[in-house]
Amino acid sequence: EAQVTQNPRYLITVTGKKLTVTCSQNMNHEYMSWYRQDPGLGLRQIYYSMNVEVTDKGDVPEGYKVSRKEKRNFPLILESPSPNQTSLYFCASRGAHGYTFGSGTRLTVV
């Protein structure tokens, strides 16, 4: 089954404690992206990657890092999380007819 697997689904952490959200796709897509979704603001792109070792900033990259060492994996790294990064995060992989989204990670930073 074609899918984007994102983990964890839920995460509560404390300010400043580094965390990684994993994302993996099995569709051999070159393009992957991370979004955050906040009430009233819709989906905002954090980072995207057009291929292995090619990443670029989206609209809201501050406080986030990504890497793309393999085509299938695109982890999101928060080096020093802050409460304003509390949000719902989605990884997505883009094929010929749009994005396939992961199931989401609800992150709470206290």
Binding residue for other proteins, selected from 1, 42, 62, 110, defined by CB under 8 A: 42
Note whether 11 binds other proteins by CB under 8 A: no
Least distance (Å) from other proteins to the CB of residue 24? 15
8 or 16: CB nearest other proteins: 8
Give every CB contact of residue 89 below 8 A, 6+ residues apart in sequence. Answer: 6, 21, 34, 35, 36, 37, 46, 76, 104, 105, 106, 107
Residue choice 34, 47, 90, 107 for contact with other proteins (CB under 8 A) = 90
Give me the half-sphere count of Cα atoms (radius 13 Å) on the Cβ side of residue 84.
Answer: 5
Q: Using CA atoms, how far apart are residues 78 and 93, in angstroms rounded to an integer? A: 20
Binding of residue 34 to other proteins (CB under 8 A): no
**Tokens at residue 94, please?**
């883009």
**Residues at the interface with other proteins (CB under 8 A):** 33, 40-43, 45, 48, 88, 90, 94, 97-104, 106
